Structure 1
Amino acid sequence: MPKSALDKDLKKVGSLEEATYDLSRSIAAPGLAILFLIAVFLFMSGLAPVGPLSLFVIAGGVVAGYMALNIGANDVANNMGPAVGSRALPLGAALVIAAICEAAGAILAGGDVVSTISKSIIVPPSDFDVRDFVMLMMASFLAAGMWLHLATFLNAPVSTTHSIVGGVLGAGIAAAGFGVVSWPTMSAIAASWVISPIMGGVVAAALLGFIKWQVLFKPDRVAAAKRWVPVMIGLMVGVFAMYLSLKGLSRIWNPSIGTVWLLGVAFFILGTLATRPWVRRRAAVLENRRKHVAGLFTLPLIFAAALLSFAHGANDVANAVGPLAAIVAAAETGQAASGDVTLPLWVLMIGAMGIALGLALFGPRLIRTVGTKITKMDAPRAYCVALAAAITVLLASAFGLPVSSTHIAIGGIFGVGFLREQLANLGLKADGQKRPKPRPNEPASLNKTPEDAIKKQLKRERRRLVRRRHVLGIAAAWVITVPAAGGLAAGIYGILKLVVSF
């Protein structure tokens, strides 16, 4: 059999195996998710306090588990997608690392105290009934989970926080009218729709531009890498030290801003000095080729993705189980929780297990979308996206700007993609040199002059390295997240109110 025919047959067999695997996964995943929710139901049945709100506590536990599953399915793709798309990690290894780091972040560093969402988005009246408060919380987070579920099915990475905000907004208006809404908070959240992706894109593009001009575009890439790659890794170490101390370790430690900056500088210096010998050893056996030098960013990228997952688990576990803690507190005290509530360890465990399971069961599809379908990734580009996500969150925190980690990460991917596109359209090759101007290789005719041939060839060479349909689709999903989740929450609250009245 000719080799080409054999290759075609092997590709067909591989495609058939992949299709069979995807089909079996699509059948098994919902069943395993349902088993998890049944386990949560049974677990909550034994913990619910005896009283008129015990059924709501049990139902709240199931909703929290459902929300955690959808956070794992949708949100975690932003951390691992670029690493998988750049082939720094195979999908299976990425799922294992992300699941471990997400669960560790949720259990070890998840906030032990969380401010109820209603405190900042809506201001319920002082005589607000505790039963109505519990139904408001349940409707809000069930709607957020349903919207995340739909977005994951449509391959759209959306903001978990904005989904919850929309749910609380819609249920709050349905429960007490427009007067309960904190409109300054909502204005700041709306502004973050624009701020987050732009900041993430600009920072990621700036980092990639620095790597290209200082390393990849240099005639001697290996020598440039020995000088600058340790600095870039040191920057990553310093930034993540600051990021984790501010965003990921609130349960363990709450340092001052001055301490955070000292940590950043100290870890930057330590990271730079510690990685210089490693880079020199690796560089000694590298060829002066772009692909070989770019491989120096693979290991730092894996660590960056793992650290992002740890911080994400520490931060976003409260999005999944915060309302459950508020419902439990309301059931125990008989009052609507309007301040801070405690997150018990068993509540954090539900969130951690749900996020890890949702990632394993439903995350691969969106990871592939984020990592491969927006723009082509390699180790330096994916590294810039991960580092830009941490830097942008720190900058936004310093200026008091509300931003979405999802929007930042996706904005970073678009940023590196559009930078590549602009460089390609300016005629720059991979080594930074200008391409020679095209010459027409066909004679002029009555309908085609040499100038027309040149223009046509230039037009053919004008490259689009970012898929426009994903830009428009993701932007549309972001815009409708709050109203969609709000409409769902209002409807669910109305149904719950009707059912309880009977």
Structure 2
Amino acid sequence: MEKQSRETRHLDTLDRDLGRLSYLEAGAQYVARPMVGPGISLIFVVFAALMAALFFGQTTHGMIVAVAAVFGAYMALNIGANDVANNMGPAVGANALTMGGAIAIAAIFESAGALIAGGDVVSTIAEGITEPASMVSAEVFIWAMMAALLSSALWVNLATWRGAPVSTTHSIVGGVMGAGIASAGFGAVSWSTMGAIAASWVISPALGGLIAAGVLWFIKARIIYRDDKISAAKVWVPVLVGIMAGAFAAYLALKGLKHLVHISLGTALLIGLLAGILFWLAMIPVTRRQSRGLENRNKSLKVLFGIPLVVSAALLSFAHGANDVANAVGPLAAIVQASQSGDFTAAVSIPHWVMIIGAFGISFGLFLFGPKLIRMVGSRITKLNPMRAYCVALSAAITVIVASWLGLPVSSTHIAVGGVFGVGFFREWHTERRILKARRAMPNQARIAPEERRRRKLVRRSHFMTIVAAWIITVPAAALMSALLFLGMQTLLG
């Protein structure tokens, strides 16, 4: 009996020790988890430096190119963490995609867009922001591009940490402008180009928001508020999908495939029209089949918008990879060209290994750090469902086409987030309108207190103000950081 009691005490002690070890292991995992992302990022950045050293290790500028590759990889990681969320956020917020599915689709299509249709030529310094001839030497040009690349990456990193979706293209523009001013004075900057970019801060989100609100109004009027919602959906969902397909076909023809073949605006619109008609006809039997057995309520309508929303998110990612990646790695390509040939005034051709760094960096950044901004855009600004998220996706494609037709520079980030704001503010306006209508019908009904009405706002004002403030200060903040970095580099190395 005593022996059995000793064995029982021994087993209890062993269980307690194993329990302590389990707690210790769980605690170690909890502490180590935040270090996984930075650890993988560091490995990728080192890989980028080794790749650059492999290509340029035997040249006199091998070390400079390796350092630039590190900055380029860091920038690509930040694009994945911040910019890509704007394409995937609405689909995740509407529960049309899981977080894992969104990350997988975005990683595949962003990389495909960058590698297949990525622009092979960019202007020497970020779309003509500064005049290359103002740089006194190739060495000054290289340090200016290094400062621009690092400052823009740091700014996007800070914005991601604060939960603010910002334009990585605008960050690059600000970085190039700041380095140009520091190296050659204010006269080196093309202020007319900067004025057009500043105008896009207002035009991009306003146009995206108006189009998204207009599409949502159409869906409410023609489908949601009809007595027979399913019958109305059978008529209008194929039309809406056809419009979306046409818009994306024109968008990809105009922007995403410019590396493969030059397509004029008229040709792109014709391609979009043909694609829209084909998809409209194809979606008629598909919508009828999907609508069988659905109840006549709003929840049933979400089923019909799920697949178009997923496809639109994938296409947006492809187009984003084709355009914005080239802008981000443009300074790295410019450094490589200036290091090889000493020529920094001609157009810059982006090498394949630089595009690979951009494509894979975006994928890693999205996988490791993207969920925070995806949740912000998808669910924390305003509540989205598949129909509202569809309006955001459609407005993004249409806005880019309209802006291209008008010759206006726009930001895909500002358009997408502006679309989310447009949907949210339209819902607020529509709700207020219905309340006023009900009050006129029942004048004796108790009024809602002002505090309660403020609480019922459908767009979170704190997030709205944070994002708008980040948009406004992106260019000047990146410019100031770039100028300081350039002057610091000159002091240390000059």
Normalised TM-score (structure 1): 0.89
TM-superposed deviation, 1:250:
1.4
The Cα offsets for residues 420-464 of structure 1, whole Å up to 9 and x where unpaired, read as 1111122269xx999974856xxxxxxxxxxxxx23458735630
User: Matched residue of 1:455: which SS?
Assistant: coil
Amino acid at match of 1:483: P
2:422 aligned residue: 415
- Alignment of 1:280 with 2:288, yes or no, is yes
1:403 aligned residue: 410
TM-superposed deviation, 1:231:
0.1
- Alignment of 1:99 with 2:91, yes or no, is no
Amino acid at match of 1:188: A
The Cα offsets for residues 105-138 of structure 1, whole Å up to 9 and x where unpaired, read as 1111111222222561111436621000000001
C-alpha spacing 1:435/1:48, structure 2 compared with 1 (3 Å): farther
**Is the CA contact (8 Å cut-off) linking 1:75 and 1:406 kept in structure 2?**
yes
Q: CA RMSD in A?
A: 2.2
The Cα offsets for residues 62-87 of structure 1, whole Å up to 9 and x where unpaired, read as 11101100001000000000100010
- Alignment of 1:84 with 2:92, yes or no, is yes
TM-superposed deviation, 1:492:
0.7
- Alignment of 1:160 with 2:162, yes or no, is no
1:363 aligned residue: 370
**Is the CA contact (8 Å cut-off) linking 2:130 and 2:188 kept in structure 1?**
yes
Unaligned runs of 5+ in 2: 1-26
Amino acid at match of 2:255: K
Amino acid at match of 1:177: G
How many correspondences in the alignment?
468
TM-superposed deviation, 1:52:
3.5
C-alpha spacing 1:158/1:22, structure 2 compared with 1 (3 Å): farther
User: Matched residue of 2:122: which SS?
Assistant: strand
TM-superposed deviation, 1:466:
0.3
- Work out which of the residue numbers 477, 486, 495 in structure 1 matches 2:488: 495
- Alignment of 1:315 with 2:315, yes or no, is no
C-alpha spacing 1:135/1:381, structure 2 compared with 1 (3 Å): same
C-alpha spacing 1:118/1:129, structure 2 compared with 1 (3 Å): farther
1:182 aligned residue: 190
- 1:136-285 aligned at under 5 Å gives the runs 136-285=144-293
**Is the CA contact (8 Å cut-off) linking 2:155 and 2:478 kept in structure 1?**
yes
- 1:291-370 aligned at under 5 Å gives the runs 291-336=299-344, 338-370=345-377
The Cα offsets for residues 44-71 of structure 1, whole Å up to 9 and x where unpaired, read as 1111164442221111111110110000
C-alpha spacing 1:280/1:191, structure 2 compared with 1 (3 Å): same
Amino acid at match of 1:235: I
1:455 aligned residue: 447
1:325 & 1:258 partners in 2: Cα distance? Answer: 32
1:401 & 1:22 partners in 2: Cα distance? Answer: 48
- Work out which of the residue numbers 371, 377, 383 in structure 2 matches 1:376: 383
The Cα offsets for residues 449-491 of structure 1, whole Å up to 9 and x where unpaired, read as xxxxx23458735630000011111111111111110111011
**Is the CA contact (8 Å cut-off) linking 2:126 and 2:331 kept in structure 1?**
no
1:484 aligned residue: 477
User: Matched residue of 2:219: which SS?
Assistant: helix
**Is the CA contact (8 Å cut-off) linking 2:168 and 2:328 kept in structure 1?**
no
Amino acid at match of 1:466: V
2:263 & 2:126 partners in 1: Cα distance? Answer: 27
User: Matched residue of 2:370: which SS?
Assistant: helix
C-alpha spacing 1:435/1:266, structure 2 compared with 1 (3 Å): farther
1:117 aligned residue: 125
2:435 & 2:308 partners in 1: Cα distance? Answer: 27
- Work out which of the residue numbers 27, 34, 39 in structure 2 matches 1:26: 34
1:435 & 1:381 partners in 2: Cα distance? Answer: 29
C-alpha spacing 1:224/1:20, structure 2 compared with 1 (3 Å): farther
**Is the CA contact (8 Å cut-off) linking 2:57 and 2:63 kept in structure 1?**
no
C-alpha spacing 1:118/1:98, structure 2 compared with 1 (3 Å): closer
- Work out which of the residue numbers 55, 66, 77 in structure 1 matches 2:63: 55
**Is the CA contact (8 Å cut-off) linking 1:49 and 1:331 kept in structure 2?**
no
2:199 & 2:126 partners in 1: Cα distance? Answer: 20
1:348 & 1:409 partners in 2: Cα distance? Answer: 24
